[in-house]
Structure 1
């Protein structure tokens, strides 16, 4: 399947839940929740894309970098590139029934594995969502990371230990889902966590702990103090709070506060390999990619996810050559204009 056919197939299967726009910036789908849009005015979603697009790369070609190194290690995982498939759930609700939860989870983790990296799976008020993720992770030998909603602490610990039993190398908690009403309405309350609660979760789980939804330096520092293994700088794809800055705007401040003390991941508006390189220059160790992976998964299953990621890898490689960047481990802010 070629790229044009993949997008057309995804557009048809989404049936309006996602338009697969030429530029995925949250404008056409603003306020469409359920759906793939951003909350309210869609400003947070749009800010993610606009903030990242606002950075420019210095074109540099008088050097000896012909074969840049994309491979890296994140939380002990050997990856072909610093790109991870983000956790997105809601095939029936947010994706208009384009795929089932088991189909989507399997597409993401298997497609990411084919591309040499790792995918994340989601959680929700329906037990099938988390269970589908664990099943998909088990099917690829444990190469996947489940992300749990900020439930009651002991529920998180229970699910995290289920993930460990399934062979997952780490688990996440999307703390930015602290006010999602459908969880509470389903009798599964969610909410924010104190640093002491984060430490409690860390103490009672067996695999690395990732906290997703960090947008200010003080929250990043609290995660370090709690012993968390990694953070994701994220505003939940612009889907939880209107009018937040883009992640690329806040990432440098968070990196300044905690770089070297904790693994820093980031998502939000990453659409190309050049975007990946920008995020690394701004202080991330690796990035999460959401909506493009979803389009790939809906359009062509695991093959589509791998196609999206391999395309991104080729773009990243070219951007590194054209900025004189030898390795993803040595990206500096000097490549930014």
Structure 2
């Protein structure tokens, strides 16, 4: 089957039968072309880190408290200075129109309805301006481009469009070797493109020994993004600045010293360095290192409300959720993406109450225990 989008998938899932986020992944896999499903699901190399993200989260256990009044449990919080209904933001994921014709517009509408931030990507398949027109809280994720002027133009457009933060991805000097995409000779469907800038046709070409998306990004992204780039960006924009892709506490400290408002502890969902530490295992050390000088968010592997609670207990102020939103979008369009966030909210409220917490803030006082290595 070739990459042809997933228009036939719209409305195919009986959402009442979906009980958890994993159900949406199975539903999406049943309707997506295999190469697109692999592009979303896959990781780099032997997918060691991809698998380790889940295994590490499963090794974290919570120590619940009892005899607490949880008759009223709230999931609201503040992320980057703005209220959010959940300690959750939609992670940046490229090319939503690969899985549904409404693309980022549908997922942004779902995020708005759920009261959580939506992160529009540099490689979104819908322009920034159309995404922010949906309303709600929108952050803009920036890849540092070889054409620096083009990077600054994207920042300006994000500001003018009403984005409320800039999220600089710092772990992609080039795309990791994603073997599923190489074996599939993956290329974007003709109807999908990077809508925010003109970037040539490489992403649509078929290469015998490479992913077209990897070729495209190697020609477009700069591998010379450094701390001086962060300083220049901090000076250029007055919006909250977030660095996504930090795992080392030393880098987190330097980020805070550079005036960054938040770091996202992330291994890019297992899609960059294969063998990188699971994000949840790096979280507590980063939290200790920054000592409250900036917010710390967690990304990579979150699949349930209990996962969100584990991140909060280990010191995160919130999490980013990516692939589950794409599976929901593929399976049932906007309503599928909305249902993913509804399930996550219900699961988080359940986990908070059963652990003796009546709020997101109280979750930070929970103890955790790790099993295994």
Q: What is the aligned counterpart of 1:86 among 73, 85, 91?
A: 91
Distance in structure 2 (CA, Å) of the matches to 1:54 and 1:215 = 19
The residue number in structure 2 matching 1:182 is 215
Mapping of 1:122-141 within 5 angstroms? 122-124=121-123, 129=124, 132-141=126-135
Do structure 1's residue 48 and structure 2's residue 53 form an aligned pair? yes
The residue number in structure 1 matching 2:3 is none
Distance in structure 2 (CA, Å) of the matches to 1:172 and 1:279 = 20
Q: What is the aligned counterpart of 1:64 among 61, 69, 75?
A: 69
Q: CA deviation at 1:200?
A: 1.0
Distance in structure 1 (CA, Å) of the matches to 2:284 and 2:346 = 26
* 1:135-186 alpha-carbon deviations (Å, 9 max, x no partner): 343222362112111224543332112101001111211111222243454x
Q: CA deviation at 1:304?
A: 1.2
Q: CA deviation at 1:189?
A: 3.2
**Residue 303 to residue 229, structure 1, CA distance change in 2 (3 Å):** same
Q: What is the aligned counterpart of 2:143 among 119, 127, 149?
A: 149
Q: CA deviation at 1:192?
A: 5.0
Larger relative contact order (Cα-Cα within 8 Å, sequence gap ≥ 6)? 2
Mapping of 1:301-316 within 5 angstroms? 301-316=333-348
Do structure 1's residue 170 and structure 2's residue 161 form an aligned pair? no
The residue number in structure 2 matching 1:111 is 110
Preserved CA contact (<8 Å) 2:64 2:366: no
* 1:257-305 alpha-carbon deviations (Å, 9 max, x no partner): 0141011111111110010000011111110001111111111222111
Structure 2 gap segments, 5+ residues each? 1-13, 176-213
The residue number in structure 2 matching 1:2 is 15
Q: CA deviation at 1:209?
A: 1.3
The residue number in structure 1 matching 2:119 is 120
The residue number in structure 2 matching 1:98 is 99
Q: CA deviation at 1:244?
A: 1.0
Do structure 1's residue 206 and structure 2's residue 238 form an aligned pair? yes
**Residue 3 to residue 335, structure 1, CA distance change in 2 (3 Å):** farther
Structure with bigger gyration radius: 2
Distance in structure 2 (CA, Å) of the matches to 1:336 and 1:184 = 39
Q: CA deviation at 1:18?
A: 6.6
Distance in structure 2 (CA, Å) of the matches to 1:184 and 1:332 = 39
Distance in structure 1 (CA, Å) of the matches to 2:31 and 2:92 = 20
Q: CA deviation at 1:323?
A: 1.0
Distance in structure 1 (CA, Å) of the matches to 2:261 and 2:106 = 27
Distance in structure 1 (CA, Å) of the matches to 2:151 and 2:323 = 26
Give the alignment's TM-score, normalised by structure 2. 0.78
Structure 1 gap segments, 5+ residues each? 20-31
Residue-pair matches, total: 312
Distance in structure 1 (CA, Å) of the matches to 2:110 and 2:42 = 24
Q: CA RMSD in A?
A: 2.1
Give the alignment's TM-score, normalised by structure 1. 0.86
Give the match's secondary structure for 1:57.
strand
**Residue 88 to residue 204, structure 1, CA distance change in 2 (3 Å):** same
